[in-house]
Chains A and B, each alone.
Chain A
Amino acid sequence: MVAVGFVSAATLAYEILLVRIFAIEHFHHFAYMAIGVAMLGFGASGTLLALLGRFQRESAELWLTLSTGLTCLALVASPALVHQIPLDPTQLPWDPYQWVRLAGVYVLLALPFFTGALVILLALTQERGRPGTVYGVSFAGSGLGAALALGVLWFFLPERALAVPALLAALGAVAVAAARGVGGTGGTGWQKGFLLLSALAAALAFARPPWSLHVTPYKGLAQVEAYPDAQRVAERTNPVGWVVAVDAPAFRFAPGLSLAFSRDFPTATALFVDGGLVGAAANWASDSAALAILDWLPTAAPYAVREPRRVLIIGAAGGTGVWNAITHGAIRVTALEINPALVELADTRTRDLQRNGVALQWVVGDARSYVARSRDEFDVITLAPTGGPGTSAAGVHSLNQDFLNTVEAYTQYLERLSDNGVLSVTRWIAIPPRENVRVILTAVEALRRTAGDVLERGLVVLRSWGTATVMVKPSGFSRSEIQHLREWAHERLFDLDWYPGVESAAAQFNYLAEPTLYNTAAAAVSGKEDVQAFTSTYPFDVAPVHDARPYPHHFLRLSSLPALVRAGAGEWLPFAEWGPIALVATLVQSVVLATLLLLLPVAIRARQKQYRPPVRILGYFAAIGLAYLTAEIAAIQQLGLLLGHPVYAVAMVLTVFLILSGAGSIWSDRREPATGRPTLFLLALTFAVYAVLLLAIVHAFQGAPLFARGAVAALALAPPAFLMGIPFPLGLRQLTGENRVHVAWAWAANGFASVVTAPLAALVALGAGSQVLFLVAAAAYGAAAVLGRISTS
């Protein structure tokens, strides 16, 4: 039983760390591939064992021993071998060999999950009367593995952290060896030797990982580190991201710099999170020439409206925004940044400011929680663009949950402005414009909620050659402010696409094929009907997003897919988004592989025995598999807002769900097998209520301290988590005495649903939001309840 706990912890930790490694080496949308691979390994194992049938006690013990040792070895070999495969996902569209490599990666990654599941299932065959207890220990181990995987990222760089799951499995191997140990019965020398050697391999892998991170060369980190004389000057790790700072003489950072700027460029340290550029850190305290460049960036526009005293910078990264505010006269600056490592690196370069009488406060945390609890007022609140122009254009962030750019978020920002305060949001322009259009519509919708009578006087849109800055002022821009802004923009070759009193679209310096931003602003201030008409005819989905569907970087309409599919080879690429494409590809791949590896073998065996597929069994186990993962993903999305970051939400949801589901599973052993129906109805009711209420609870507690928010999250999750552990073992116990093929169908159906649900639920969340996901979970539990008694005997 101890081995089951350790192996479960190891496999779940491996799954989570794979998600992190994929995010670093490639891009984060490969996360669903990691989850799919894990589910596939588990499902394939269950189906295989169910088909093979019952083991004799001795052979089950032998296979349990071997599986534990093999899991340990697989957790060392899998990452080591995967890193030997030169996979380049960018070449998949035209290089068939890349597909072979991808298949190789898939198989290697699935290996530890396959052997890990064998351990749990073989333990189950040995503890036939107590399936709930075995599952309970497995769930609890998984929950601790989830917490541990994220915890170790505070202490070890991702490279070394990837060996931690092998160490956990090694503890399982040692536990099995000890059970067979000196004086034990039934164990043989070679089995113990094998287990201890496996554990030794894991320890060696942790001491000196036989792999290294291969960050795709197309990410900013690889490119800047390849510059002449580039030097990595700092490296930090935490669950939020892997932070690297690089000094390179050729590196420059001035997003959207005016073409009229003609002085020297200051140097700065490039900052990367997970290999992608997020900003630059510098110490310009005594370099007035360096500071001059800041006034030539589009992000300086709000300071041309009025000299600020108090400034709030959201997503301050390396501190360029801080320097910008102070250069323009701010004496009190609050810089918000979610990643503590970025704050640490920026703080060392902005300490001189404190000595110069500037009150600079770095706040590690999420902006939504800060603005919900803060009573301070600010003259300027800014959100600056991150990364480069390419990332937003390619739809790399389309799957990112982002609660900082929803209507509710902008409304909260406006409420924190002083009487004459300005909210300023700068974003890169992609052609045709998408993100900028949505920012205008979102900002005006927030303005409508807070100061509906000043819509026409409260909006300014400024555009450079590559960026657009949207400024909103609830008290309305005055004539003199607009006049000053026009002069400032003219000197910098920036266009004012919209301002109070604008008569027509007339770009002076930077021409677009169509005056899209002018048209957007005109529709936005005209009224909701005009906004509706504008967004419904726009080629992309640019309507404002809300907290229930927080995907502000996703623009592709599902209805556009036929047109994209009809287009010639490569024609659709510029308009597609890599995130949803990767998700759809994962879904297709999951359906194919799960059908081949889970459903087909059982179907063949059933045909040989001339059994009909047991519809109730299939429906029950598929429904509870789908419901569990759907509820999990919905909870992760909504609690991401409460806890401030998806990583914290993942840790909280997985830990609470799995540990309490484990408790529920153990408790289920005391119940009669056919008494699951009330539990299922209760779960359906709970998630139907959560679809309506949970987001409201999240909003109500947003301003509370982190520990209180964590407690609220745990309390909200605990009751359904406990109940969710009951249906699976109860269902399996109902099948005691059934023929082997029926049990195999149960495993296959549950495995298939789990494999397919991860990408499917993510697509539903993207298109319809988390509230709909909760309703889907409720419906699935309801369906399982209706199926009720599944035993055919």
Chain B
Amino acid sequence: MRYRTVVTAAIVLAAARAEAQYPRQSERLAMVDLIAARGVHDAATLAAMRSVPRHEFVPPNYRAQAYGDHPLPIGHGQTISQPYIVAYMTEILRPRPGMRVLEVGTGSGYQAAVLGELGAEVYTVEIFEALATSADQRLERLGHETVTVRHADGNHGWPEFAPFDAIIVTAAGGHIPPALVEQLNPGGRMVIPVGSVWGVQNLILVEKDLTGDVRTRNLLPVRFVPMLSELR
């Protein structure tokens, strides 16, 4: 009995210490387990999602819901994307250490942090100055040194650091800016979510082959494929 009490106390203490060292780790792990169960299998992506503290990227009044699998408002009509979509887009992008990645639409900086965690050199552009400033400060505080934030119009890409091995556009309009297609490296991939953040989000994958030819793929996230067959 005494032995059991000691072991239980040790476990509780260890958990408390882990919680202090890695706040909300258990919620994060549960979130990633859910994402994996829904069809995202890239181990590196899942590992990155396990280490980036999403609650740090969410406004204080929404922190309690930071690990729910849904988008949350971050101001200026922008949102921090649903974690599953972040993971799915990251997996499609196939980022690897040393790759140069351009992100258009920094938002809170969460997607850039995940890409940075994977070892990519991330250049991220945000049109709303307040969001760009706060994301820059947040990423610096959390130690994401490979991420560079700039307040600018994403339509122009970031010519000074082009070409990019991968481009991710988190705020899609009715067109894909020609500058982005131009700044994509041959062999590179660009992913763009199209649709409503509160409804469907189809992903458009733009691939530029080694000869510079461009092709697109319209993807339905894997999570929703089983549901579609139910509707038939």
Footprint of B on A, CB under 8 Å? 88, 90-91, 93-95, 216-219, 222-223, 226-228, 249-250, 252-257, 259-263, 265, 388-391, 393-396, 429-432, 465-466, 493, 509-513, 537-540, 557, 560, 563-564, 566-567, 570-576, 578
Contact = CB atoms under 8 A, between A and B. Distances in A.
A435 to B, nearest CB: 13
Nearest to B70: A94
A536 to B, nearest CB: 10
B129 A228 contact: yes
Contacts of B232: 537-539
B169 to A, nearest CB: 12
A211 B77 CA distance: 21
Interface string B56-76: 000000000100111001011
A575 B232 CA distance: 12
A493 B155 contact: no
Interface string B221-232: 101100110111
B148 interface: no
A393 B202 CA distance: 9
Nearest to B77: A217
Contact of A571 (B75, B77, B201, B223): B223
A252 B173 contact: yes
The 8 closest A-B pairs by CB, nearest first: A394-B199, A217-B77, A394-B196, A574-B200, A539-B231, A390-B196, A393-B195, A257-B175
Nearest to B215: A509
Contact of B224 (A228, A257, A574): A574
Contacts of B215: 509-511
**Interface residues of A: mostly helix, strand, loop or mixed?**
loop
Contacts of B69: 570
Interface of B: 65, 68-70, 73, 75-77, 127-129, 153, 155, 172-178, 181-182, 194-202, 204, 206, 214-221, 223-224, 227-228, 230-232
B224 A575 contact: yes
Contacts of A570: 69-70
Residue among A223, A253, A260, A537 with the highest chain B CB neighbour number at 10 A: A223
A698 B74 CA distance: 49
Given A465-B206, A560-B231, A567-B227, A390 B218 contact: no
A9 B224 CA distance: 49
Nearest to A463: B218
Given A388-B174, A509-B215, A572 B227 contact: yes
23 contacts: A216-B77, A217-B77, A226-B77, A226-B128, A228-B127, A250-B127, A257-B175, A259-B178, A259-B206, A260-B214, A262-B178, A389-B172, A390-B194, A396-B196, A465-B206, A465-B218, A493-B214, A510-B215, A511-B218, A539-B228, A560-B231, A564-B231, A566-B230
Contacts of A573: 198-200
A91 B231 CA distance: 26
A256 B175 CA distance: 5
A275 to B, nearest CB: 11
Given A223-B77, A390-B195, A393-B196, A431 B175 contact: no
A511 B217 contact: yes
Contacts of B214: 259-260, 493, 509
Nearest to A538: B232
Residue among A94, A510, A574, A576 with the highest chain B CB neighbour number at 10 A: A574
A430 B231 contact: no
Contacts of A564: 227, 231
Given A250-B153, A431-B219, A432-B228, A393 B173 contact: no
Contact of B76 (A219, A223, A260, A431): A223
Given A228-B129, A511-B218, A567-B230, A574 B175 contact: no
B224 A540 contact: no
A262 B214 CA distance: 13
A578 B220 contact: no
Contact of B218 (A260, A493, A513, A560): A513
B178 A265 contact: yes
Contacts of B178: 257, 259, 261-263, 265
B73 to A, nearest CB: 7
A431 B200 contact: yes
B65 A571 contact: no
Nearest to A537: B232
Contact of B230 (A250, A257, A432, A563): A563
Contact of B216 (A216, A430, A509): A509
B216 A511 contact: yes
A429 B68 CA distance: 29
Nearest to A464: B216
B218 A222 contact: no
Nearest to A217: B77
Contact of B219 (A88, A90, A226, A513): A513
Contact of B200 (A393, A512, A513, A560): A393
A223 B128 CA distance: 10
B164 to A, nearest CB: 16
B33 to A, nearest CB: 14
B174 A389 contact: yes
Contacts of A88: 73
Contacts of A394: 195-196, 198-200
Contacts of B155: 250, 252, 265
A263 B178 CA distance: 8
B176 A578 contact: no
A226 B132 CA distance: 13
Nearest to B207: A511
A560 B181 CA distance: 39
Contact of A510 (B172, B182, B216): B216
Contacts of B199: 390, 393-395, 573-574, 576, 578
Contacts of A257: 174-176, 178
Given A393-B200, A465-B204, A217 B174 contact: no
A424 to B, nearest CB: 18
A573 B200 CA distance: 7
A86 to B, nearest CB: 10
Contact of B231 (A216, A265, A540): A540
A223 to B, nearest CB: 5
B128 A262 contact: no
Contacts of A509: 214-216
Contacts of A219: 77
Nearest to B206: A259
B159 to A, nearest CB: 14
B218 A252 contact: no
Contact of A259 (B128, B181, B197, B228): B181
Contacts of A576: 199
A91 B198 CA distance: 9
Contacts of A256: 174-175
A261 B179 CA distance: 10
A673 B214 CA distance: 78
B40 to A, nearest CB: 15
B147 to A, nearest CB: 22
A265 to B, nearest CB: 7
A257 B217 CA distance: 16
Contacts of B218: 429, 431, 465, 510-513
Given A249-B153, A432-B220, A510-B215, A255 B73 contact: no
B216 A465 contact: yes
Nearest to A562: B230
A345 to B, nearest CB: 19
Contacts of A93: 70
B200 A218 contact: no
Contacts of A261: 178
A391 B194 CA distance: 10
Contacts of B70: 93-94, 570
Given A394-B198, A509-B215, A95 B77 contact: no
Contacts of A466: 174, 194, 204
Nearest to B224: A574
Nearest to B223: A571
A391 B197 CA distance: 10
Residue among B65, B175, B177, B194 with the highest chain A CB neighbour number at 10 A: B175
